[in-house]
Structure 1
Amino acid sequence: MLQPSKDWCWYYDKTQDCLAIELSDEMVFMTPYRAKQLNPDAQDRQGFSLEDMQFYIEVTEKLQVHAGEFSAAQLTQIALNATAVQKFYKPQMPKSWYFNRQSYAGVHAGLALLENIDGQGLVLQVEADQHASLCMLISASMLLDGQKSLKQFEVIKVMHNYLYPYLPDAPLARYA
């Protein structure tokens, strides 16, 4: 897993039309986030701040609780995308209507499941306020309704009572 560095730099790659982070002279990480999803600050070149480093480390530490669930490369990819979302993503209104309300709601070590009639998706809670959570999809994709879907690393805000804690050691029937 990559350790964060003060030498990392955020910038908007106009050629690829996405937010990117320069990790070294030879290595650039492209996020899936486009200009229309991001606040105006994403257009400015800026260093990876102390707050960015702290958030990146918090995400990786939370995910390491789920030992064996993610490779080092996956941890890095999840943490970089989550940091980009936390820093640059435009505010959203909750879109809980796509999902089933949970009688036992919550988040475990940053992860939760969102469920609907078409299945479920594993999400990372990026931010939380008093009533809702901004979540990033970790699963490859998730069907929302008959026509819309979320792709991996896309973001959706939902009310807290729609999140089911992800407990990998729990009986598999719950997650099937």
Structure 2
Amino acid sequence: MVTVSPSKSEASASWAYALQLPHDPLAPRIARTTLRAVLSGHGLPHIADTAELLTSELVTNAYRHSTGPATLRLRALPGARLRVSVWDANPHIPPPFDRHASPLPSIPTGADGGRGLFLVCHYADAWGGYPLGDDLFGQSGKLLWCELGPHPADGAAVA
């Protein structure tokens, strides 16, 4: 009997992690710490700073705008890229992730918040969100995601 397994390079380029986060103000910090460990372990420290900012903003949004737990998922994509997604129980897709919403309100200069998801859209290579209806397991809410990876200016090869 012949056994086929992926080569070491194929296996290391194909991974995903999920982290269940309680509705707790420490959730963004725990998500950042976990993200740094995952990226370091998979040889992607060069995208850690940007990934940490984007992950923190997505998890903070879930904490501030939902009343229950959230799930962070980190997934490797081809070309040393990363997809970060965060699920929470609130089905409302916030601007700017809701591309069908009315024009965005301006944020007052002295405001303490309201810029996080705009940062995600600015620094991510791709981003989006979609509502999740009730499914077989009673899950609903929304999923916000973003993707990032190395750029030629980072000194990393892009596939």
- What TM-score do the two structures reach when normalised by structure 2? 0.30
Higher strand proportion (structure 1 or 2): 1
Higher helix proportion (structure 1 or 2): 2
- What TM-score do the two structures reach when normalised by structure 1? 0.28
Larger radius of gyration: 2
Determine which structure has greater relative contact order: mean sequence separation of CA pairs < 8 Å that are 6+ residues apart, divided by chain length: 2
